Amino acid sequence: EPIKCKWRESLTTHIPSPHCSHDWKQKYPKLVFPDVLSMIGNTPMVKLNNIPKSAGVECNIYAKCEFVNPGGSVKDRMVKRIFEDAERQGLIKPGMTIIEQSSGNTGIAVALICALKGYKCIIVMSEKISGEKEAVITSLGASVVRCPVNAPLDAPDGMWGAAHRLRNEIPNSFIFDQFSHPGNPLTHYDTTALEILDQLDNKVDMIVFGGGTGGTVTGIGRKFREVSPHTKLVGFDPVGSKYACPASLNETDVTFFEIEGIGYTVVPPTLDQGVMDYWIKTTDLEALPMCRRLMREEGLLVGMSSGAALVAALKAAKGLKKGQNCVIMLPDSIRNYMTKFVSDRWMDAKGYQPCENKYNVWWWNQ
């Protein structure tokens, strides 16, 4: 049954953008770049082999390696664009303080660009977010403000509330607000979607992705609806989040989930849930061991939402045939989670099965 969700009109006007990726191959044929920001986007894709085979999935599953972006995540693309647009429009200039609410990856991208361009930077994020992300952000010279885990985005002590209060109190400060900025989905509409089509010679039968701000889902989804309408678009959403449609899928007593970067209880303006054909819910119990399998069985050292993506894709792609292509995103890498699912002790303490030979470290003292 088709999902009836409201399309968010504010995002439907497409502003022609200087950010399309099509000239990248001509500009950098030998992959030698004039600066780090030029390396953002145009990420490789890799076919998964062992896990789909053992799950009995016949189609090809290709993963888009967003973790190879310089800041380590899919969010570099969007931040570069909205930063450069704001500079071009005269909204910001070096010396100002950029404040942004984030689950960490946008924070890293903003802090990196602020460091390069001479801005001060404050990142507002939930206390749930890993210490690894905090360490990267503060090493880049930015400050971090932590908010309570369960504060809704728009509550006074939630991320939006805190960021706006800081903006009002700090002179010469500016918020992009990735949760409502049209440039966020438009980045993926203009670049990521076209890269995927180009990389697979327009043969994309299914894409399975999760939403944080929803920029990826909305941007890629809308482009595919226009240029490749037969592609099935499948969303996944952690149990405990409220992004899935229809809303009955979200009914649960669970209020906390470990996965970072996807799912909230308030649907932000940048997420167009209705662009998806259908949604699947995923649990930490499925997703976190899958992150370890991605490491050991595919050699992919990727983050938590990547594990959830593959769990959802293995379910959704069961209906596809040999030769058909299903795409997942790998939004970030294990760098952000070294003390979480990469740690056997953490996995054990949380009740997740990491793998058979855990604690496989020996101290040779003699």
130 vs 132: CA distance, rounded Å: 5
Q: State the minimum distance, in angstroms, from the CB of residue 31 to ligand PMP.
A: 25
Which of these, 326, 350, 346, 348, lies nearest to 334 by C-alpha position? 346
Residues 289-308 that bind ligand PMP (CB under 6 A): 303, 305
Q: Of 69 and 213, which has the nearer Cβ to ligand PMP?
A: 213
**At what angle are helices 304-316 and 284-298 packed, to 10 degrees?**
90
Each residue 48-87 as x (binds ligand PMP by CB under 6 A) or -, in order, gives: -------------------------xxx------------
- Kindly tell me which residue out of 72, 211, 221, 240 binds ligand PMP, with binding defined by CB under 6 A: 211
- Kindly tell me which residue out of 210, 238, 289, 354 binds ligand PMP, with binding defined by CB under 6 A: 210
Q: State the minimum distance, in angstroms, from the CB of residue 45 to ligand PMP.
A: 17
Each residue 248-267 as x (binds ligand PMP by CB under 6 A) or -, in order, gives: ------------xxx-----
Q: Is 75 a catalytic residue?
A: yes
- Whole-number Cα distances in Å, 296 to 290, 325, 356, 361: 10, 23, 12, 17
331 contacts ligand PMP (rule: CB under 6 A): yes
Residue type, 213: T
Rounded to the nearest 5 percent, the helix, strand and coil shares of the chain are: 40, 15, 45
Centre a 10 Å sphere on the Cβ of residue 10 and count the other Cβ atoms it contains: 10
Residues 12-51 that bind ligand PMP (CB under 6 A): none
User: DSSP letter at 89?
Assistant: T
CA angle centred on 146, ends 140 and 149, rounded to 5°: 135
216 contacts ligand PMP (rule: CB under 6 A): yes
Catalytic residue numbers read: 75
Using CB under 6 A as the criterion, which residues of the chain lie in contact with ligand PMP when the complex forms? 73-75, 103, 105, 210-217, 260-262, 303, 305, 331-332
